[in-house]
């Protein structure tokens, strides 16, 4: 826990944990204010969990969520009202503490001189100069002049962001590059399926962000508030401005836990789990290990989602564990899919259906989870079959693995970079923005019709790097992305159906069929997933080594 005192009555902090609550009480805090919306991060406890732990320690709580980088005047008003009502001293937190410090600064601007606000926040480790400019400019952050400037700015420090930074540095070492990301920890998210299946331990999937940022690349630990592409500017949390020559946008997507009524309150309890959250994947395995009989429900929301195979991977590994323990006959496995097919590329469906039959799982298509009652252990699904009126059905469960609805992050959806659906609008081959020629995007946030997987980002990063370097040299795009994505479908412990495909569902196998036939479950594919892909991710992909990921050259038509 990192407490940063701003005044005798007010302290801010980065994200706190349930386990911190006794220490917070002992430090004398009488109220906690949460400024971070639920579901913002993959390792974030929900406010309900924090509130329950705080009440047990006699601490008052308030939930005043503010979208990262978007502190509005009305947010400041609500925050000020809360400060006047709660008992002091109070502790406010968000992902890094910046939003809480910003809210305090804007609130206190009515009664304190700006110099004092800057001094107090600086002493706590926060630079509020951008907030001061906003105050002086009547609520607007000017972007004609920046606090910093770089040849290339990369928004997002996930698989795509780190990889493209490393690929750029390997091509042009003299580039000044900045990666903007507020997270302290970088996760190998493809490993969470294996955590939920009892194969990996959760800490194996996490490393510090600082250890992964390529040498010579500036890490800006902040969230993005807005884009002003007409001024080649990015506005950060705290109203700071970063200018760029070229911009790469790859912040991933948003897991919308609140999109299912009642889900946030029961996650991690009452048999409700998800491999889509770092701290919940171990709970999945705990539930699977502990079940001897009952109904296990696995859900999949409407597309697009991160790794479309992940919801059924959880089902297969759970079924395999029960099969090996000899209790499968006591299980009622239900797969509730908002879509109409088991997997979007038909070539892989026959092999998957063999395992659906082996585990005696019932497939329920066009079933979308809309609400959940954890204590009652019931879930409500909206059934929307073609040419029929939608109806709601209630399903009881003993265990439920939830894949949450997923959208582009809020700061992307409201930006000039987004298409009508909220995703970054790019050319699907060059990954260059369709409107702004010095902007590129990759990973889960862009609107190319490919699978949203880490394997896709592995192929996209060299394409973006190659095209940026060509653009700097005054040339047109030289590399193109073919839509490649990979989904290692863990159908049992020790065997995987290695789905590899590109745009239009065209198969894109990386290995000869005598070594790995992706349409069949193989031991070799399991060894690839378990033994080789994690080190390839950490030691190759994130370091700019483009093994089996060389960018495809743009085909120039003959005159």
| Residue closest to 54 by CA, chosen among 93, 85, 102, 81 | 93
Q: Is the dihedral of CA 185, 189, 191, 195 positive or negative?
A: positive
CB neighbour class for 138 (10 Å; exposed up to 12, middle 13-18, buried from 19):
exposed
Catalytic residue (one of 34, 239, 307, 403): 307
Instruction: Identify the DSSP state of 507.
Output: B
The SS3 call for residue 529 is: helix
- What are phi and psi for residue 458, nearest 5 degrees? -60, -35
* Token pair belonging to 414: 């409201």
* Non-local CB neighbours of 370 within 8 Å, separated by 6+ positions: 260, 261, 380, 381, 382, 392
Catalytic residue (one of 94, 239, 403, 487): 487
The torsion of the CA quartet 342, 346, 350, 356, rounded to 10 degrees, works out to: -10
**What distance in Å separates the CA atoms of residue 542 and residue 540, rounded to the nearest whole number?**
6
Q: Could you write out the DSSP letters of every residue in 278-299?
A: TTTHHHHHHHHHH-SSEEEEEE
| Active site annotation includes 403 | no
- What are phi and psi for residue 530, nearest 5 degrees? -80, -45
> How many CB atoms sit inside 10 A of residue 31's CB?
19
**What distance in Å separates the CA atoms of residue 157 and residue 174, rounded to the nearest whole number?**
20
Helices of type H across 212-272: 263-266
| Active site annotation includes 94 | no
**What distance in Å separates the CA atoms of residue 322 and residue 333, rounded to the nearest whole number?**
11
**What distance in Å separates the CA atoms of residue 229 and residue 243, rounded to the nearest whole number?**
10
Strand 552-553 and strand 479-480: the pairing is antiparallel
| Residue closest to 310 by CA, chosen among 323, 294, 298, 322 | 298
Q: Is the dihedral of CA 373, 374, 376, 382 positive or negative?
A: positive
**Residue labelled with tokens 């001293």:** 89
Residues acting as catalytic residues:
307, 487
């Amino acid at each position: 826990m990192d407490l940063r005192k701003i005044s005798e009555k007010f302290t801010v902090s980065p994200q706190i944990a349930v386990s911190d609550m006794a220490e917070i009480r002992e430090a004398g805090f009488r109220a906690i204010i949460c400024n971070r919306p639920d579901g913002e991060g993959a390792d974030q406890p929900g406010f309900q969990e924090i509130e329950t732990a705080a009440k047990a320690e006699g601490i008052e709580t308030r939930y005043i969520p503010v979208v990262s980088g978007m502190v509005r005047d009305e947010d400041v008003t609500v925050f000020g009202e809360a400060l006047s009502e709660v008992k002091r001293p109070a502790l406010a937190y968000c992902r890094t503490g910046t939003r809480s410090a910003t809210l305090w600064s804007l609130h206190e601007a009515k009664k304190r001189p700006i110099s004092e606000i800057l001094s107090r926040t600086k002493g706590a480790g926060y630079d509020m100069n951008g907030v001061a400019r906003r105050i002086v400019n009547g609520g607007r952050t000017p972007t004609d002049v920046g606090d910093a400037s770089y040849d290339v700015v990369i928004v997002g420090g996930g698989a795509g962001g780190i990889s493209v930074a490393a690929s750029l540095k390997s091509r042009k070492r003299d580039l000044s590059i900045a990666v903007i990301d507020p997270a302290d920890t970088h996760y190998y998210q493809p490993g969470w399926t294996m955590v939920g299946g009892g194969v990996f331990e959760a800490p194996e999937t996490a490393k510090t962000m600082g250890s992964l940022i390529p040498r010579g690349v500036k890490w800006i630990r902040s969230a993005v508030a807005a884009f002003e592409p007409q001024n080649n500017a990015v506005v950060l949390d705290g109203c700071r401005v970063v200018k760029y020559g070229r911009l790469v946008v790859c912040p991933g997507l948003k897991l919308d836990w609140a999109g299912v009524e009642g889900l946030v309150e029961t996650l991690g309890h009452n048999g409700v789990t998800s491999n889509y959250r770092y701290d919940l994947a171990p709970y999945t395995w705990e539930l699977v290990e502990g079940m001897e009989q009952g109904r296990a429900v696995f859900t999949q929301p409407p597309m697009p989602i991160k790794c479309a195979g992940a919801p059924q991977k959880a089902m297969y590994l759970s079924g395999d564990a029960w099969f090996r323990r000899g209790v499968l006959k006591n299980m009622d496995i239900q797969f509730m899919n908002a879509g109409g097919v088991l997997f979007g590329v038909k070539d892989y469906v026959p092999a998957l259906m063999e395992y659906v039959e082996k585990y005696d799982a019932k497939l329920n298509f066009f079933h979308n989870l809309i609400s959940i009652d954890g204590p009652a252990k019931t879930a409500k699904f909206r059934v929307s079959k073609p040419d029929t009126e939608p109806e709601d059905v209630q399903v009881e469960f003993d265990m439920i693995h939830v894949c949450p609805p997923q959208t582009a992050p809020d700061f992307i959806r409201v930006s000039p970079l987004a298409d009508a659906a909220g995703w970054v609008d790019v050319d699907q081959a060059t990954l260059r923005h369709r409107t702004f020629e010095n902007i590129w995007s990759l990973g889960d946030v862009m609107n190319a019709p490919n699978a949203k997987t880490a394997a896709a980002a592995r192929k996209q990063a060299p394409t973006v790097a190659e095209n940026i370097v060509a653009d700097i040299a005054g040339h047109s795009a030289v590399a193109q992305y073919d839509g490649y994505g990979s989904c290692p479908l863990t159908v049992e412990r020790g065997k995987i159906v290695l789905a590899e495909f590109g745009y239009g569902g065209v198969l894109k196998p990386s290995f000869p069929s005598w070594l790995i036939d992706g349409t069949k479950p193989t031991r070799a594919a399991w060894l690839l997933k378990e033994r080789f892909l994690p080190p390839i991710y950490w030691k190759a992909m994130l370091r700019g080594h483009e093994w089996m990921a060389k960018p495809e050259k743009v085909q120039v038509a003959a005159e």
